[in-house]
Every structure is written in structure tokens, then in C-alpha cells.
């Protein structure tokens, strides 16, 4: 084979100097972006001609890296959802950090596949597991694994609990072989991914019992106990209770100790969806509110939310490591055979603890984030976002035209513009929803701030979730100013309520 053929085959450049210089420009552009983020709009609608750039046919000929970079700067970067921006307050999203960004570059350069094999990247993942055991008070035999996000981590919790109640047979015969129908329990405020997990696990969404909530959004425990008793009486098999450490809509925390008592007494697996709230353990002022979390059988959480690790970085911690392994470990290993020495050593591997075989090195950006910032600083950042939420709540309470629908339990405030119109309760609720929807859209489209929405006890609410470590009092003031500025336009010239909102 000739040298020229070699060059034709590899994706590496013949001249590294050029790509190195281009790489430095790309890195500088991202530092400029992060440094100047505050000056940009949080979000802006994508113009049609920008969207059309991404509908072209398969590129057959090589293009220039510099050109692709320019397209990124002009047509991709300005039109992202904006969760890195300090004015972003929608859904539950982290903002990333400059340290995490640099770690991602190292991860990409190394391109480690951490499904398994004897390599230090696996030791880094085990280091994170060890840290999480320490943080949550889990024992030595507890296991952990990185996954995309809490959706998959919650699914793994359900599958581990299913394996526990049905034994090894469920892996060969499926749920069809089960003598009794399995039932699961979680509050009505539980994230929709838990219902999906029941579906994916072959148990069906209906097997998830939705337990009512108290006024503060936490699970009503007498209803939980009554439902378990009724299901047992009907010959069903309760197998998992899913507690919330921070509900997605308003950050409510279930009484985890009391649920642990019920789960223990009833001999039911206790899983916690702590997608964002579990990591409030890092904040000394918040950790006591999670009392009982150490008694869970498994916890799902995301490093990419409150701890700002770059997307994606979900994690599940399982107390009984042997049970976790027995839920996923391949029964037969041919080409994935393990060894005492050599590259196939170090079993069990992460691929034995979840559905993925090939996996990226998510542990590295998490390791960098914890090593460089330290848990004290991360905890302070988490506490600070709760303080900002309390400040927002006070400002709303001081405005006669606004009302708080769910006070700040953690870092989320739900509120709305008061509406007096309407000739019946139902009618005025529909008008209020339409007005507040318009107000929300006006705020989002202004690029000043980006809250999202939810329903609190059936009432439409504007929801500000303060997860971004860059957010300050100025961002809260800017949100309030925008709310007040756009509220008269949102309530004026209100057309007849469309039937779609008359629920």
C-alpha cells in the first residue's frame, strides 16, 4: 500500500498545525460565548432560512472545518434553547460549566468506550460511585452506574425491583410467568418517566398507582397505605414505592423516612426519584430535609441538573449491588468473556449494570466538576438558587397583581397573574389560563427570561425553576420587570376563550 492511499483512508490531517490552530479558535469562541452569555437573549425563535440549512442532502465531498465551524457559530449556537444562560428558568436544566466543557474535550480526545475492559476510566466511574455512597450513606456493597438521565435511572430502579420480587425467572420468562400482577406506588406529582418505566418494564402504566398529594405537594401517606392494603386484598402484588426528593413541578419532597417505614413493614422495594433534589445533600442547610434517603433501596439522580455537569450525566445508585448485577448481567458471555488478567479483567463491568454496552466516559466531566469546584462550593451554589427562589417569591407577594400558586420549597416558584374576569369559577379559570399562557409566551419571546409552565392543583402556573449557577438577583428582577411589562398586553383585548382551554 502506498503512503498516499494511507492518507486517503485516515481521518487524521496530514498537517496537524492547521487543525491545531483551528481548534484553538474554536475553543476561544466558546470561551467568548460563555463570557458574553449574559449579553445575549436567553432564547430566540429560529428564522426559516436558518432551519433550512439543515435540510440538505448527504454531503458526498469533503468540506472545510473552518466553514463548518462558521455555520455552527452563525446558525447553531445562537438558536439553542439557552439553558446555559442565567435567564433560563424553564423545566429542570443545568447550565454547564467551563470546567465541564474542557473535560468534555478531553473525553472526546480519549474517546474511551467505558462499557468494560481493564482501563482506568472505569476506576474513575467507580470513584464517583464511591463518592455517592459516601454522600447518601449507602454501604460498601452498593453499586452505581452512569446513564443518560433520571428517566433511564428510574427505569433501572423499576427493573431492579422487578427482578427482586420475581426472581431470576423474570429474565428468561418475562413478566408473563408471574403469579400475581405487580403494582407500583408514586404520588400524582411524580415525573412522567416513571409511568413510562412501568410501560417499558412490561408491567403497564395502569400498574402504577397514583397516590394523592398534600397541599405542599408531598405524597399523602394514609392514601398510600390504604392503596397498598386494597391491592393486597385484591390479590395484587405491591413491589415498589417511588418517593420523590424534589418533584418536577414545584420541588416538593416526600416524607422519605415515613415511606421507608412503610416500605420496610410491607416488604416493598423503596426507590427514590431524586433527579435534581437528591443532590441537595451537598448543601448542609438542605440535607436534613432529605432525612431517610439513606434507607432507600435505590436512588435515581442527574449530575447534569443542579450540579451543572455537561449533558448528559444521569446516575443510579443501588444498595444491593449483587441484586443490581443480577438484574442486568449477561447470562452468557461469548465475545464479552471476562478474564483474571489482561484487557478483559476487572469484571463486573458497567455493561453488567444497565442496558448499554458501548457508553461514553460521562464520569470524567463529573470527576472534574467535583474535583475542581469541591462539594462545599457546589452545595453553596445549590443553597444560593433556593435563596433566589425565596427572593422571587417575596417580590411576587409584594405585587398586588400577581399571586404565588406554589411557594419555594426548594428552588422553584409557581405563580400567575391574577385575573378577575369571568362570570363563573370555571370560566375565570379558563380565562386566567389563556391570559397567563400569553404572558408566558411574551416573556419567552422577549429573550429576557425563560420560565416554563405547569399546573398546580389544576390551575395553570408560570413556573420559574432556578437551576442556573449564573443566575443572580438581577435576573430575578428582570423576570419580574418582564412579567409586569407584558401583563397588561396579555390581559387586554382578551378574545373569547377558545374551546381548547375549556377543560
Ligand X SMILES: *Cc1c(COP(=O)(O)O)cnc(C)c1O
Could you write out the DSSP letters of every residue in 150-196? HHHHHHHHHHHHHHHHH-THHHHH-GGG-SS-EEEEEETTS-HHHHH
> Looking at beta carbons only, is 92 or 414 nearer to ligand X?
92
The least distance separating ligand X from the CB of residue 154, rounded to whole angstroms, comes to 6
Name residues whose C-beta falls within 8 Å of residue 134's C-beta, 6 or more positions apart in sequence.
none
d(CA 372, CA 48): 41
**Distance in Å, CB of 176 to ligand X, minimum:** 28
Least distance between ligand X and beta carbon 320 (Å) = 23
Pick from 280, 331, 273: which is nearest to 155 by CA?
A: 273
Compute the least distance from the CB of residue 91 to ligand X, in Å.
Answer: 7
473, 86 contact by CB (below 8 A): no
Beta strands 314-318 and 298-302, pairing class = antiparallel
Q: Of 316 and 430, which has the nearer Cβ to ligand X?
A: 316
Residue closer to ligand X by CB (options 187, 446) is 187
Question: What residue ranges bind ligand X (CB under 6 A)?
Answer: 92, 149-151, 191, 193, 246, 248, 273, 275-276, 302, 314
Nearest residue (CB) to ligand X, 142 versus 153: 153
In eight-state DSSP terms, residue 46 is P
Q: Which of 406/417 has CB closer to ligand X?
A: 406
3-state secondary structure of 209: strand
Please answer whether residues 250 and 456 qualify as being in contact, where contact means their C-beta atoms are separated by less than 8 angstroms: yes
Which lies closer to ligand X via its Cβ, residue 243 or residue 292? 243
Indicate the residue among 132 and 482 with the shorter CB distance to ligand X.
132
Least Å distance between CB 368 and ligand X? 20
Contacts of residue 98, defined as CB under 8 A and 6 or more positions apart, other chains included, come to 31, 34
Query: Which residues lie closer than 8 Å to 51 by C-beta, 6 or more apart?
Result: none
Instruction: Provide the minimum distance between the beta carbon of 305 and ligand X in the complex, in angstroms, as a whole number.
Output: 6
Q: For ligand X, give the closer residue by CB, 159 or 193.
A: 193
Query: Cβ of residue 201: shortest distance to ligand X, in angstroms?
Result: 16
The four Cα atoms 129, 130, 134, 140 give a dihedral, to 10 degrees, of 110
> Of 254 and 320, which has the nearer Cβ to ligand X?
254
With a CB cutoff of 8 Å and minimum separation 6, the contacts of 190 are 210, 242, 244, 247, 273
CA distance 372 to 352: 30
- Burial classification of residue 336, based on how many CB atoms lie within 10 Å of its CB (0-12 exposed, 13-18 middle, 19 or more buried): middle
**Nearest distance, CB of residue 353 and ligand X, angstroms:** 17
Nearer to ligand X, 79 or 91 (CB): 91
Rounded least distance, CB 244 to ligand X, Å = 6
Residue with Cβ nearer ligand X (139 or 212):
212
Collapsing DSSP states into helix, strand and coil, what is residue 315? strand
CB 84 to ligand X: min, Å: 17
Q: Do 380 and 283 form a contact (C-beta atoms < 8 A)?
A: yes
Describe the crossing of helices 362-397 and 120-136 by its angle, rounded to 10 degrees. Answer: 40
What are residue 302's DSSP bridge partners?
314
Sequence-ordered list of residues with C-beta below 8 angstroms from that of 264, at least 6 positions apart, any chain: 270, 295
Q: How far is the CB of 229 from ligand X (least distance, A)?
A: 27
**144 in Cβ contact with 318 (< 8 Å):** yes
Between 273 and 433, name the residue whose CB sits nearer to ligand X: 273
Distance of closest approach, residue 126 Cβ to ligand X, in angstroms: 22
Residue whose C-beta lies closest to ligand X: 149
Q: Is residue 288 classed as helix, strand or coil in its secondary structure?
A: helix
CB 287 within 8 A of CB 344: no
Cβ atoms of 325 and 348 within 8 Å: the answer is yes
Give the shortest CB-310-to-ligand X separation in angstroms. Answer: 13
Query: Which CB sits closer to ligand X, 83 or 475?
Result: 83
> What SS3 class is residue 43?
coil
Name which of 130, 219, 236 is nearest 184 in CA terms. Answer: 236
Amino acid at each position: 500500500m502506498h503512503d498516499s492511499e494511507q492518507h486517503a483512508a485516515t481521518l487524521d490531517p496530514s498537517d496537524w498545525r492547521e487543525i491545531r490552530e483551528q481548534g484553538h479558535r474554536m475553543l476561544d469562541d466558546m470561551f467568548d460565548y460563555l463570557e458574553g452569555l449574559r449579553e445575549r437573549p436567553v432564547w430566540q425563535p429560529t428564522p426559516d432560512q436558518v432551519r433550512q440549512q439543515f435540510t440538505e442532502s448527504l454531503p458526498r465531498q469533503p468540506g472545510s472545518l473552518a466553514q463548518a465551524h462558521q455555520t455552527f457559530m452563525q446558525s447553531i449556537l445562537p438558536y439553542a434553547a439557552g439553558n446555559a444562560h442565567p435567564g433560563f428558568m424553564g423545566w429542570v436544566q443545568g447550565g454547564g460549566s467551563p470546567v465541564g466543557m474542557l473535560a468534555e474535550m478531553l473525553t472526546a480526545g480519549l474517546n474511551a468506550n467505558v462499557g468494560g475492559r481493564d482501563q482506568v476510566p472505569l476506576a474513575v466511574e467507580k470513584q464517583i460511585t464511591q463518592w455517592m455512597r459516601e454522600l447518601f450513606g449507602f454501604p460498601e456493597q452498593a453499586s452505581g452506574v452512569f446513564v443518560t438521565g433520571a428517566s433511564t435511572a428510574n427505569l433501572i430502579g423499576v427493573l431492579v425491583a422487578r427482578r427482586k420480587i420475581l426472581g431470576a425467572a423474570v429474565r428468561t420468562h418475562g413478566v408473563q410467568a408471574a403469579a400475581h400482577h405487580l403494582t407500583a406506588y408514586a404520588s400524582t406529582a411524580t415525573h412522567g418517566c416513571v409511568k413510562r418505566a412501568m410501560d417499558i418494564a412490561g408491567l403497564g402504566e395502569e400498574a402504577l398507582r397514583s397516590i394523592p398529594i398534600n397541599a405542599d405537594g408531598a405524597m399523602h401517606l394514609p392514601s398510600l397505605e390504604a392503596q397498598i392494603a386494597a391491592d393486597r386484598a385484591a390479590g395484587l402484588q405491591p413491589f415498589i414505592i417511588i418517593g420523590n426528593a424534589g418533584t418536577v413541578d414545584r420541588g416538593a419532597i416526600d416524607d422519605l423516612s415515613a415511606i421507608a417505614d412503610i416500605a420496610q413493614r410491607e416488604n416493598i422495594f423503596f426507590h427514590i426519584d431524586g433527579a435534581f433534589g437528591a443532590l441537595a445533600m451537598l448543601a448542609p442547610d438542605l440535607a436534613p430535609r432529605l432525612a431517610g434517603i439513606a434507607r432507600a433501596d435505590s436512588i435515581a439522580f442527574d449530575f447534569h441538573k443542579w450540579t451543572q455537569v455537561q449533558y448528559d450525566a444521569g446516575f443510579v445508585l443501588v444498595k444491593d449491588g449483587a441484586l443490581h448485577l443480577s438484574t442486568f448481567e449477561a447470562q452468557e458471555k461469548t465475545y464479552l468473556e471476562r478474564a483474571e488478567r489482561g484487557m478483559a479483567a476487572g469484571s463486573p463491568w458497567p455493561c453488567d449494570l444497565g442496558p448499554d454496552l458501548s457508553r461514553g466516559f460521562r464520569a470524567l466531566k463529573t470527576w472534574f466538576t467535583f474535583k475542581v469546584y469541591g462539594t462545599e462550593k457546589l452545595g453553596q451554589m445549590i443553597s444560593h438558587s433556593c435563596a433566589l427562589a425565596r427572593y422571587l417569591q417575596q417580590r411576587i407577594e409584594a405585587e398586588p397583581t400577581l399571586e404565588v400558586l406554589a411557594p419555594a420549597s426548594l428552588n422553584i416558584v409557581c405563580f400567575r397573574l391574577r385575573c378577575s374576569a369571568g362570570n363563573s369559577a370555571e370560566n375565570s379559570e379558563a380565562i386566567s389560563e389563556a391570559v397567563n399562557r400569553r404572558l408566558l409566551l411574551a416573556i419567552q419571546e422577549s429573550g429576557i427570561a425563560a420560565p416554563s409552565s405547569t399546573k398546580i392543583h389544576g390551575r395553570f402556573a408560570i413556573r420559574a425553576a432556578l437551576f442556573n449557577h449564573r443566575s443572580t438577583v438581577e435576573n430575578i428582577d428582570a423576570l419580574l420587570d418582564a412579567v409586569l411589562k407584558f401583563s397588561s398586553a396579555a390581559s387586554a383585548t382578551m378574545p373569547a376563550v377558545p374551546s381548547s382551554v375549556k377543560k
